[in-house]
Each structure stands twice: as C-alpha cells, then as structure tokens.
Structure 1
Amino acid sequence: MAELTYHYDGSYAGLLSVLHRIFSWRETPAAISAGAPAQEDLFSAPAQVATDPERADLLLAAIREHLSPETPALVRHAFFSETAGVEMAIYRYLAHGWKVRRRLDDDLACPVVAEVHRLARRVRGEAHRLKGLARFRETADGLLYAPLEPEYFVLPFLAAHFSERLGQERWLLHDVRRAKGVLHEQGRWVLADLEVEGAPSLSAEEEHWQGMWRTFFSRIAIAERVNPRRQRGFMPLKYWKYLVEMDNP
C-alpha cells in the first residue's frame, strides 16, 4: 500500500483537520503540505483533506485532555513559524505525545519535542518584540497604520494584543512581506490579504510629532557613547526600516 501525502489549504484549522484524520484513522503520512498536489507521485498517493473546524476542535479538545496543557499553544505558535516541514514536525511531536501523554512537554531531550518548542519560542519572541517595536502612524483619514516585515507570521498574536491595548481606536497592522493585514474597527478585528501601493499620507499632527520624536531621539544620545553593535543587539537591524526614530528627517 502506498504511503499517503496529505495536502491541505495552508490554514491552521486545515492542518488540524489533517492531523485529526491521521490520528483517528491510524495512518502514517509520507508528507503533509499546503496546496493541491502538483503531479502524481509513483511512491505515494495524494490525499486532499478539506478544512473541517469541527474536526480541528475535536483534536484540540483531545490534546488538552490527554497531553500537556501547554501543547495547543506550542503547536499553534510553531505552525505560524512557516518553517519548511513544520507540518511533519508537529505530526511527529503529537505522535510522540500520544505515547508519553502528560509528560510530553517535559521531554525536552526528545528531538521532536525540542524542535516544536524551538519554533514556538522563536515565534513568541518575535511577537513579544514587535509589541514594543510596532510604530503606529496616524494617516490623513485618522487611521492608525503600522507597517511590519516580521520573519514569522505573528499578526494573529499582535492583533489580540493591540485590540486590548488600543481599545476602540481604528487601526491597521500591515505585514508588508506577506501582503496581509489586520484591520480593527469598533472593537473587532479581521485578518485578510492586503496590498498597499505607496506610503499612506500622514496627518499634519503625525508629521509634527514624528519630527519632535526624531529631535528628542537624536539629542538625548551621547555621541561618545554611541555603540551601533550594542544597539543592534537590543533592537535588531531587520526592524529598523519601520522605526520612526530611524527615519531620515
């Protein structure tokens, strides 16, 4: 019997639907990948699995009941690392979990457990940094706009944070690299594809405060103690592009 290569729509719920089928039917995957199969494979049979929120919820409920309480969050954070092969890494992690049950997330000596923890830690770390480094700009129409280019897909985690922090404000988080955005209005937010051509026009007040902030930032520095290498350690260079204080006035 040919091994199965599973294909899904690329969503988190889609992956959970695939994993629910695999564990329920006691199958062993050859691979799990997003999108439809490009061509027939002589050595594995393709299986296109439709996203089923009910199946996804059933798997999460089983994980919470039988594995570690930390496991669902670790799986979700690792998935949004978008690392090549993350689907199989999560499969192997959960397959090990069904063997060791509640001891899963204490078993860090196991490579499949350590890998998922490593990916989840990276995503959590970047989300945490961007909660402080995201710079919202007020546009001419009153929207608070923050462009970002994160290494990992952290918009869902940032959205929940800023929704609570900014209350009823109208704002947009824009992942420029992935052409996706989170729009928040009237206390609710939605994640969708987003293409923005050119930089948005800023309000006069925003231009004023940006100038004031750059002046403060430049004058508070002690020239003799400027240490670019140490500065990059605290604020990695990859985030400087959208920091107001790093713009040229």
Structure 2
Amino acid sequence: MDLRTAPLAPPAASLAASSTGAPAASLAAAPDDSLEYDGSYSGWLCTMAELLNLRFHAGLPEERLPGVCRPGQQTDLFGSRVPVDNDPDRAERCYQRLLARLGSDCLERLQQAWASDLGAANGLSLDSALARVLRLAWAEGATALQRLDAPAVIVVQKAITRSCRELNLFKGISRFAELVDGSLYADIQPACDVIGWLAEHFAARFPGQRWILHDSGRGRACLHQPGQALAFLEGFSVNPQDLRHSAGELVIQELWRQYFDTITIAERANPRCQRSFLPLKHRYNLPEFNAVKGGQAD
C-alpha cells in the first residue's frame, strides 16, 4: 500500500535534516519522558524522525532516548509528555528516506504493526517497540525484523500478525449493499486500522463500480470511482436509516437469509461452535444474522 495516499498517512511523511529533514526539533526529552504524537500515521513518522535524529545525529545513547505515546496512553509515572507536531512535509521526507533505506516490504510491515490494536507486550508499548525496531532497522537494514532475540521485534511481529489476520477476516466478511443510485456501501468495524489495504483489495475486485468502504468505528471512509484514484475521507459518518437500498438488494438479502435458514440442520445447531468461527461482534453487517438496515427502496 502506498503510505502517502492511504488514510493512515495523509499525503506527506520523513527523517529530519540529513537523515530526516531539519535538525531534531530541539526536544529536551529525558529517558523517562515520552514523545506524544496525534495518533495519525504521519504524526508517527514525524516522531520517528525526531528519534532517529536524536540517536544518529545528536548521538544520544539508546538507553537515554525517550519513549513514544499517543494521546490518552499511559506513560512513565515520573516522566512528562513532549508533543511532536504533525508536519505533513516532514512526514513525506521521512517516508521517502525510510523507503530508500529499508525498502517497501519492510516499511509496509512496520505500517502493518502500527495499524494493529496491540496495546503492549513484553513490557513494551507498541509505539515504543516500533521506535526501537525502526532504529535497529535504520542501523542494520530490513533484516532487523528477523531479530527475534530482541524483545521489541517480537512485539512488532505480534502486531503485524494481528493486523494481517484482521485484514484477511474482513476481506471475507465485508458486505457491500447496493443503494438506489447503483452505488455500493459497506460498513466495517475492524479492530485494526486496515481500511487502506482493504480498499486496495476491493478496488481490484470491483474496478468498474462506485462504492464506499466505511470504517464507522474510526470515522474514516474510502470512496472508489471507476478510473480514479481512491479517495480517503476523514470524519465521515452516515445514518444507516438514511441509506436507501435498491429493490434488487432487498430481494438478494432476503433470499440469502432464506438460504441460510434452509440449509441449517436444526438437530446439529451449535451456537457456541458457530461463535468460535464468527464472533458476535462481526455479525452487525451480515444479512443472514440481521434484518435489513437502512431504508427501503422507494
């Protein structure tokens, strides 16, 4: 996924001056302090630029580098939070430098880890573990992700696994519904921030159709128009009752529910087993488990 156009990374991202753009923003951060960014991917890249400058240009030893956190995240009891500005231009420069040094595969793996819902593991927060792995990769190259002797790498690999599993799950259970104007709409609520990869998947599957993929939990959406680049929208919301399904969509949903009920063998019903394969939290947008959401066709 192109991080510069994905919703996780608004156009722009980088390292400071020689390595990442400008000299580190003179952040007087102590080891117990944490660099706090706004939770966006471009904000994270700006924070990585600061840390790489502190480590490789200011010469700060690894053990004296500050941690990394997002708003609301718990940090060291005796440390303070040092805010890092989200500078899209700097983030773009950081992205390009990392891309040249680490390669697209390694950089995408790091983004997959960042997109995970993993909070902490092995005594490390995900953001702090990512920062350590990125510094390791900057020094050793992309093979740093194979250093399973490093606790931070193990945390990052766990995060990557969670994101990839969530992505594969939603490739299968995302349901598009046809609206009266002929466009398609899908509501998803993944635990991990995978809408960018999902959008690329569905753009390849439905290249000739207009659709919206809506991560309602995060207020993000991706708009696909045939022959145009994917458009990512922030702060997107829609009232399900305002969605007007086409007559054909309502027929298809009802036929699917009938099929689902008909093939069921009542004597072998096992709700607990069914929930182990498809948890209740993922059934909100599946017609076989729910009545039609939204308005009916006029």
- Counterpart CA distance in 2 for 1:5 and 1:216 is 54
Which one of the candidate residues 201, 218, 223 is aligned to 1:178?
218
* Equivalent residue letter for 1:198: P
Task: Specify whether residues 57 and 98 from structure 1 end up closer, same or farther in structure 2 by C-alpha distance, changes over 3 A only.
Answer: closer
Aligned to 1:201: 244
Write the deviation string for residues 103-127 of structure 1: whole angstroms up to 9, x where unpaired. Answer: 4232224221110010111011011
Task: Specify whether residues 177 and 44 from structure 1 end up closer, same or farther in structure 2 by C-alpha distance, changes over 3 A only.
Answer: closer
Aligned-pair CA distance for 1:163: 0.6
* Equivalent residue letter for 1:57: Q
Q: Which has the higher helix share?
A: 1
Aligned to 2:48: 19
Aligned to 1:189: 230
* Residues 151-160 or 97-106, more deviating: 97-106
Aligned to 2:283: 240
Aligned-pair CA distance for 1:87: 2.0
Task: Specify whether residues 239 and 92 from structure 1 end up closer, same or farther in structure 2 by C-alpha distance, changes over 3 A only.
Answer: same
Task: Specify whether residues 43 and 207 from structure 1 end up closer, same or farther in structure 2 by C-alpha distance, changes over 3 A only.
Answer: closer
- Counterpart CA distance in 2 for 1:111 and 1:58 is 25
- Counterpart CA distance in 1 for 2:34 and 2:80 is 6
The TM-score, its normalising length taken from structure 2, stands at: 0.72
Paired positions, count: 241
Which one of the candidate residues 109, 113, 119 is aligned to 1:78?
113
1:121 aligns with 2:157: no
1:161 aligns with 2:201: yes
* Residues 181-190 or 126-135, more deviating: 181-190
- Counterpart CA distance in 2 for 1:238 and 1:117 is 25
* Equivalent residue letter for 1:241: Y
SS of equivalent to 2:154: helix
* Equivalent residue letter for 1:196: V
1:46 aligns with 2:82: yes
Q: Note if contact 2:102-2:142 (Cα within 8 Å) is conserved in structure 1.
A: no
Aligned-pair CA distance for 1:18: 2.1
**Which structure 2 segments of 5+ residues have no match?**
1-27, 72-76, 120-124, 293-298
- Counterpart CA distance in 2 for 1:188 and 1:2 is 41
Aligned to 1:63: 102
- Counterpart CA distance in 2 for 1:230 and 1:116 is 31
Which one of the candidate residues 212, 217, 238 is aligned to 2:255?
212
Task: Specify whether residues 75 and 2 from structure 1 end up closer, same or farther in structure 2 by C-alpha distance, changes over 3 A only.
Answer: closer
Q: Which has the higher strand share?
A: 1
Aligned-pair CA distance for 1:181: 1.0
Aligned-pair CA distance for 1:7: 3.5
